[in-house]
Amino acid sequence: MQGGSALLLVGGNSFAESKSLVRVGLVTDLHHADKDPRGSRHYRESLEKLDEAKKLFTEFDPDFVVELGDLIDAAETVETELGYLETVHEKFVSLPGEKHYVLGNHCVDTLTKSEFLKVVRQEKSYYSFDKNGVHFVILDSCFLSDGTPYRRKNFKWTDANIPQAELDWFKADLDSTESEQVIVFAHQRLDLEDSESHTVKNASKVRSILEGSGKVRAVFQGHSHKNDHHEINGTHYVTLVAMVEGSGAENSGYSTLEVFSDGTISIDGHRKQNGYTWK
Ligand SMILES: [Zn+2]
């Protein structure tokens, strides 16, 4: 585990005078399933890895925790997949703070969106909320090019899209918020070319909306199962490592995010997860 205090130093100045506005716990791509490992994916171990994250999050005391998608992995039947979801959700819901869920393609492999959301007790797949002057947006890119929502094994993982109605909502939401500090959570990536495999296929359109607002500081995403960071026209895009990858606690990955009153955003990465600090 990396120490949190070192990240609170930038250029030798401490943030003593800058107040912490919001504290967030982040996990992604747990892919929990009661299945034997396949390749580098150790489906059952995500539960223990989540126990370790819970210890750290309990000390950190976040306002909320975001799960950035692919909480579960595929099953052959709706009943089995619901069982995977109930098991991992019971543990996830015991983490400190409010919980927010981003839909990943694997969350709705066999399930429908409403079946998934009912178990995690979340009303919508995309929405926004405010915390202490910071505005947060949860996006849902689990739609085919023709606008059909992912469900019951109908999707191609390379065909992720944000349909027009959600784009319109996103633009109106960014226009109406008074906050100049907006943070977006998504599963599929918004920082790649539209033709790349892990991208939201209309990511360039999404970026033009968020850049047009001038308010979006950072986007956090999963899906690629690796550390990555791009800064595009003033917005930071951070891809977080997958909790499911590799056996043992040392291969886990999770992070805490803190937004400060002077605009500093700090991500403290644990295990395989990188950390970042931006003024
Ligand atoms: Zn995944």
Summarised one tens digit per residue, pLDDT across range 79-130 is: 999 999 999 999 999 999 999 999 999 999 999 999 999 999 999 999 999 9
Q: What is the pLDDT of residue 42?
A: 98
Q: For residue 188, how far is its CA from the centre of ligand 1 (angstroms)?
A: 9
The number of distinct structural domains making up the chain is: 1
Dist. CA 85–CA 89, nearest whole Å: 6
Higher pLDDT, 18 or 250: 250
Average pLDDT in the chain: 94
Q: What's the 34 CA to ligand 1 centre distance in angstroms?
A: 16
pLDDT at residue 13, rounded to an integer: 47
Is residue 1 domain-resident?
A: no
Asked if the structure places residue 137 within a domain, the reply is: yes
Q: Quick check: is 95 in a domain? A: yes
Instruction: Give the model's confidence band at 16: pLDDT under 50 very low, under 70 low, under 90 confident, else very high.
Output: low
C-alpha 50 – ligand 1 centre gap (Å): 16
In CATH, what number is assigned to the domain containing residue 143?
3.60.21.10
Instruction: Report the pLDDT value the prediction gives residue 17, as an integer from 0 to 100.
Output: 73
- For the chain, how many residues are written? 279
Does the residue 2 lie in any domain? no
- The answer to whether 230 and 192 have CB atoms below 8 angstroms apart is no
Domain-located, residue 10: no
**% of the chain surpassing 90 pLDDT:** 91
Residue 61 lies in a domain: yes
pLDDT at 7 over 50: no
Q: Which residues contact 60 (CB under 8 A, 6 or more apart)?
A: 4, 23, 25, 256
Supply the range of the domain harboring residue 27: 18-278
Tell me phi and psi for residue 119, to 5 degrees. -65, -40
> Tell me, what amino acid is at 50?
L
Q: Is the pLDDT of residue 235 over 70?
A: yes
Residues around ligand 1, an ion, CB closer than 5 A: 29, 70
| 6, part of any domain | no
Mean pLDDT of 173-183: 97
The answer to whether position 12 is within a domain reads no
